[in-house]
Structure 1
């Protein structure tokens, strides 16, 4: 039976047309559906980041053109510029495809076999579709982390530094790329390259506006993030779609509404850092990939800003982990649990009653990824990564 499952996975992975078809096809279909339904509020926010930058208006206040507010850094205004200049239909669809393409290229750079890469794309295609339905920027955030990993492995610290700083100056998450610092053979080059790119990317939005406006916007961005973090804690007041994190899950399940996030984050940081006790294996590709998976999961699990579409950052880690595992029935069953509990939990494949009464109010989407992250930490500490296929 296990041999048949392995043959099925190989058959899926060998179909070169299947991975890109699902990856881009599902996202294109859902993006068109949402656009023609008028559900492209996030893209409207993104477009106005550019418009507000060139007009000198605050990037972080409410505006009548859309609901919610922008929470990305001023550098985002440069990225969104070519799309904002197009008609909404063209700009929004190309924006979605651009996000999908960047993450697709990043996954293609992973030190996996072609079949394994195809399987990661196939299994993560549904999660990408979910992010695409919101016209999310998170696929590029995930790509920044993966590119920083692959480029450091290849000794291209200068360009790895670009992705680390670009991610950090747009959504902060990019700084997690420093998790791969110890894989570099030229750490000083990585450090000074980050300084160089930090300066370049900090001033780059000034081509669209004045230096004083951009400096003020960075200060306002910090204030907006602090406010958002406080707001994310208010799930007891009806705000359920935020803080889909380890902290949010624990607070809701155990009714600990006012528990400090530090009670979860500090032990998690200790466990994350403990993985570097195995640094003597840093030349092993399997060890490096385990740290990548751990970092991608950690980024989402321990952020109070995590929403359902944010899991396009975390779920590829589950797919990467799975393709490295021996295909035992336990691993297969666990991955099915990950697929259903995480990737499909907010979809129409789950009944409305389950979503309304379990998945949403208890931030259940975080639970399968939390279990996987703990499994990965255990496997690293016990050197199980030496047994991967």
Structure 2
């Protein structure tokens, strides 16, 4: 499979970027002119609600279904897009997030062939996210930009990306776990505080201070409501546990166990200087924030798949690793698509949460690899 992508045509960036452009163009045309997007309608009207002092978190059935779950900063941050005519903003929305994910992979310290493999492997999963007009490609890219900033000894910018992610989806805060691996910890924490204030107050451009405090109070309440989610309505380790172990296992117990296991790798402090170890930590954060999210949905898996790619480049690539990678390709990436038989998807993949299972197993594999010295160097890494 890997040798296939080494052929000159398939490893040519012009071909790859051209394909990504065409896929994104197809999605934009389809969503704007055929399907529409309830998700983007939620985003789009948030700016209007912020400006006019309306609750961001009330249901507006004449405008969209479901709720707005993001911080008030989100509406202000993307105001340049939301201020455009609706169809134009929606059309450009997909290009914005596809481009950010492509750029993040390009900036990572991978070899040319590793980047080529990442682009081909992640194409279908990115498509799944784009057709839902969600922010998940950005959420997948943010830990990569944070990692690059840490590696360049730029904790100020690493803090920016992590706080930015928090203001879009709070699970992005998991990427903050990277700072323990690097020096300048105090500078990073101070920078987080600074960026927290700057981004937190950004909506003051559009709304008075008292209204902003009111919006934040509503946001906190909305987060608790969203967390109290139907245990059978997610695609994560939570539903795997409830399906195969017991439906009575509480969400905090599952998350707590995951956090403890996640943090055990800090005992390997002597390996913090190992680039492979740090990359595996990035993989762990990307996968963790999806599989332990009690409201994870299929389109969020572009984040987990990005983590899977980093794990693959750092793994020993044994038979077990290859089996896990192929399982991820089949069940995580292809199962929601038209390339997968409908009968198998409805009778097996959805009931048994098979989309999540490969990523869950790979995350445990990542944790295991971080606890052992594989003596495997990361080829092609150049962080100078």
Please say which of residues 342-351 and 18-27 is displaced more in the overlay: 18-27
How far apart are the structure 2 equivalents of 1:99 and 1:289? 23
Is 1:319 equivalent to 2:319 in the alignment? no
Q: Is the 8 A contact 1:163 1:174 kept in 2?
A: no
Structure 1 residue matching 2:322: 3-state secondary structure? helix
> Aligned residue for 1:341?
331
Quick one: which of 365, 383, 386 aligns to 2:376?
A: 386
- Alpha carbons of 1:154 and 1:42: their partners in 2 closer, same or farther (altered >3 Å)? same
Root-mean-square deviation (Å): 1.9
> Aligned residue for 2:268?
278
> Aligned residue for 1:20?
17
Structure 2 residue matching 1:112: 3-state secondary structure? coil
> Aligned residue for 2:345?
355
Quick one: which of 223, 248, 261 aligns to 2:239?
A: 248
Q: 1:115 Cα deviation (Å)?
A: 2.0
Is 1:55 equivalent to 2:52 in the alignment? yes
> Aligned residue for 1:187?
185
Q: Is the 8 A contact 1:9 1:119 kept in 2?
A: yes
- Alpha carbons of 1:346 and 1:253: their partners in 2 closer, same or farther (altered >3 Å)? farther
Q: Is the 8 A contact 2:94 2:133 kept in 1?
A: yes
- Alpha carbons of 1:388 and 1:149: their partners in 2 closer, same or farther (altered >3 Å)? closer
- Alpha carbons of 1:358 and 1:27: their partners in 2 closer, same or farther (altered >3 Å)? farther
Q: Is the 8 A contact 1:287 1:385 kept in 2?
A: no
How far apart are the structure 2 equivalents of 1:327 and 1:260? 35
Q: 1:329 Cα deviation (Å)?
A: 4.9
What stretches of structure 1 of length at least 5 have no aligned partner?
none
Q: Is the 8 A contact 1:74 1:217 kept in 2?
A: yes
Q: 1:215 Cα deviation (Å)?
A: 1.1
Q: Report the TM-score, using the length of structure 1 for normalisation.
A: 0.91
How far apart are the structure 2 equivalents of 1:385 and 1:304? 36
Q: 1:327 Cα deviation (Å)?
A: 5.2
Q: Is the 8 A contact 1:165 1:175 kept in 2?
A: yes
Quick one: which of 285, 289, 299 aligns to 2:289?
A: 299
- Per-residue Cα deviation, 1:86-122 (whole angstroms, up to 9, x for no partner): 2222111211111111122222221211221222122
Is 1:45 equivalent to 2:36 in the alignment? no
Please say which of residues 316-325 and 178-187 is displaced more in the overlay: 316-325
- Alpha carbons of 1:368 and 1:247: their partners in 2 closer, same or farther (altered >3 Å)? same
Q: Report the TM-score, using the length of structure 2 for normalisation.
A: 0.93
Q: Is the 8 A contact 1:286 1:385 kept in 2?
A: no
Q: Is the 8 A contact 1:144 1:164 kept in 2?
A: yes
Runs of 4+ in 1 over 6 A off after TM superposition: none
Q: 1:361 Cα deviation (Å)?
A: 3.1
Please say which of residues 197-206 and 30-39 is displaced more in the overlay: 30-39
- Alpha carbons of 1:374 and 1:80: their partners in 2 closer, same or farther (altered >3 Å)? same
Q: 1:133 Cα deviation (Å)?
A: 0.1
- Per-residue Cα deviation, 1:290-314 (whole angstroms, up to 9, x for no partner): 1100110000011112111111111
- Alpha carbons of 1:17 and 1:324: their partners in 2 closer, same or farther (altered >3 Å)? farther
- Alpha carbons of 1:257 and 1:331: their partners in 2 closer, same or farther (altered >3 Å)? closer
> Aligned residue for 2:152?
154
Q: Is the 8 A contact 2:316 2:374 kept in 1?
A: no
Q: 1:49 Cα deviation (Å)?
A: 0.8
- Alpha carbons of 1:359 and 1:322: their partners in 2 closer, same or farther (altered >3 Å)? same
- Per-residue Cα deviation, 1:33-67 (whole angstroms, up to 9, x for no partner): 13222331111110011111011111111112111
Q: Is the 8 A contact 1:102 1:140 kept in 2?
A: yes
How far apart are the structure 2 equivalents of 1:291 and 1:124? 20
- Alpha carbons of 1:91 and 1:306: their partners in 2 closer, same or farther (altered >3 Å)? same
How many residue pairs align between the two structures? 377
Q: 1:6 Cα deviation (Å)?
A: 4.7
- Per-residue Cα deviation, 1:236-287 (whole angstroms, up to 9, x for no partner): xxxx3xx211012221344x33320233222222221111222212122111
